[in-house]
Amino acid sequence: MNNRGELYGIGVGPGDPELLTIKAFKLLKNSDVIIAPKSSPKKSSLALDVVKRAFIEWGASLPKVDNITFPMTTVQNKKKINKEIEDKILNNLNHGLNLSFITLGDPFLYSTYRRLTSKIAEYKNIKVKHIPGIYSFSAISARLGKELTWGNDRLAIIPVEKNKNYLQELKNFETVVFLKVTSDLHGLINQLKEAKRLQDAILVEKVGMEDEKIYYELDKLDNINYLSTIIVFKNQTMSR
Amino acid sequence: MNNRGELYGIGVGPGDPELLTIKAFKLLKNSDVIIAPKSSPKKSSLALDVVKRAFIEWGASLPKVDNITFPMTTVQNKKKINKEIEDKILNNLNHGLNLSFITLGDPFLYSTYRRLTSKIAEYKNIKVKHIPGIYSFSAISARLGKELTWGNDRLAIIPVEKNKNYLQELKNFETVVFLKVTSDLHGLINQLKEAKRLQDAILVEKVGMEDEKIYYELDKLDNINYLSTIIVFKNQTMSR
């Protein structure tokens, strides 16, 4: 009888293939199949693009790749996703294969990886290793050469929602990272103005990718890509 | 005339040498000198321990190592630190050497690296690369197999201070990471109880290091190491 394979949940970081960890790279090389999530069958997997570039750069040969498509969740889609997880992950593990499920950034910070873990939790005795990845906002602070926090500074990470008020957080936290900013870009920028923190804010689109862009004048923004983050850095003159 | 060397500010991650990024490892190998910060001359550098283990594991030979001691800052110490930075970093860069300044975790999240950047900002035309590292709390979530955030969850990162009140943050944020918890461990635990979030909280000491420990029953804690983090995970029943 075969031994069951291992499942690796791997964060590949924000886009730069060299920001993979040594552990992630080793486990990917040790995988029989790399499972890459996609939001639609027509799109390419951004996480897979990063992994492919890392393997080219380090002269290693890429294992077999398979995809799982995670469209917006409806009841019907959920059944389809669970069927894909069973076919492509659970069955393969039972056949002794080692599988890597890759995800942009980190598997435990706003990641599709949850769709998988909530399903495989139903199965007993699956060996899983979770490998953390560099967050996009860490890469942005390094890219800009600006510290996120120092001393007793506090940091808030907030996914933007339409028509929400963030004035309290902009007052109480030295540094605020806003994700999914295209959900309400103009609403957010108006609040940054009201909180007098617009001058502390920088937007970075697709950090570490080939078409990365940095914007300093946020009130002149237009047509921003979904993979954008606004960091409101510590205002040296603020007091709380 | 020599070309000036480059300075690399490198986050080595929380303790596990395999959580170094590929980029960090490449730049360390490319360094003439690795500068390791210490809090006192008698102590070893934790960041250097991580780097040494990574080089052993990957069969590479370690470059020359030098230390800079960053004691608690007084005016006298500040002058001494600036003198050390000039001697060991600026002079060496001027002689064409490539230097890596290493730091546990990430250089831009609560790091001693700032002591360096605030000084070298006074000098023109120094080439610097900043390399992000895995944060301790990312490694903890991966270690525990528990997600920090999902969907529209919000995350707060807070260094604990004596006699501060955190009830508002415990109410408004799905996930709260408390750093420097030994500053007021019992005060914090009382607040977790009051906010009815004690059962969501886990403490991890020295994540990824050889003597890592995980504590689930926080009201029974005693004698915790300085390198400890409490994560208050999302309460599945909470509403905001």
* pLDDT class of B72 with cuts at 50, 70, 90: low
Class of domain A136-232: alpha beta
Of A40-44, A171-175, B94-98, B137-141, the least confident: A40-44
Residue of B nearest to A115 (CA): B150
pLDDT, tens digit, for every residue of B195-208?
999 999 999 999 88
Residue B223: pLDDT over 90: no
Beta strand pairing call for B213-215 and A175-179:
unpaired
More confident residue, B82 or A139: A139
- With pLDDT > 90 as the criterion, what percentage of chain B qualifies? 69
Which residue has 């546990």 as its token pair? B104
Provide the token pair at A99: 């599988």
* pLDDT class of B2 with cuts at 50, 70, 90: low
Provide the token pair at B100: 């890596």
Helix axis angle for B75-85 and B113-120, nearest 10°, is 70
Residue A8: pLDDT over 90: yes
Residue B73: pLDDT over 70: no
Mean pLDDT of A57-68: 93
Counting Cβ atoms within 10 Å, is residue B92 exposed (0-12), middle (13-18) or buried (19+)?
buried
Provide the token pair at B3: 């070309």
Q: Where are the domains of chain B?
A: 6-131, 136-232
Best residue in B103, B108, B234 for a mutation probing chain A (most A CBs within 10 Å): B108
Q: What is the DSSP letter of B211?
A: T
Instruction: Report how far residue A180's alpha carbon sits from residue A161's, in angstroms, rounded to the nearest whole number.
Output: 8
| pLDDT at site B238 | 45
ipTM here:
0.93
Nearest to B233 by CA among B157, B172, B148: B148
Mean pLDDT of chain A: 91
- A58 CA: distance to closest CA in chain B (Å): 10
* pLDDT class of A189 with cuts at 50, 70, 90: very high
Question: Which among A16, A21, A117 is the nearest to B18, CB-wise?
Answer: A21
Counting Cβ atoms within 10 Å, is residue A128 exposed (0-12), middle (13-18) or buried (19+)?
middle
| pLDDT at site B95 | 94
Q: What is the DSSP letter of A231?
A: E
Mean pLDDT of B137-160: 96
* pLDDT class of B237 with cuts at 50, 70, 90: low
pLDDT, tens digit, for every residue of B156-192?
999 999 999 999 999 999 999 999 999 999 999 999 9
- With pLDDT > 70 as the criterion, what percentage of chain B qualifies? 95
Alpha helical stretches, state H, chain B: 22-29, 46-57, 75-85, 91-94, 113-120, 136-144, 167-172, 185-194
- B109 CA: distance to closest CA in chain A (Å): 5
Mean pLDDT of A55-84: 85
The helix (H) or strand (E) run that includes residue A229 is: strand A228-232
The CATH code that applies to domain A6-131 is: 3.40.1010.10
| pLDDT at site B122 | 77
Instruction: Report how far residue B92's alpha carbon sits from residue B5's, in angstroms, rounded to the nearest whole number.
Output: 8
| pLDDT at site B239 | 38
A138 to B107: CB separation less than 8 angstroms, yes or no: no
| pLDDT at site B120 | 79
Instruction: Report how far residue B192's alpha carbon sits from residue B199's, in angstroms, rounded to the nearest whole number.
Output: 8
| pLDDT at site A33 | 97
Instruction: Report how far residue A175's alpha carbon sits from residue A156's, in angstroms, rounded to the nearest whole number.
Output: 7
| pLDDT at site A109 | 97
| pLDDT at site A239 | 38
Residue of B nearest to A113 (CA): B147
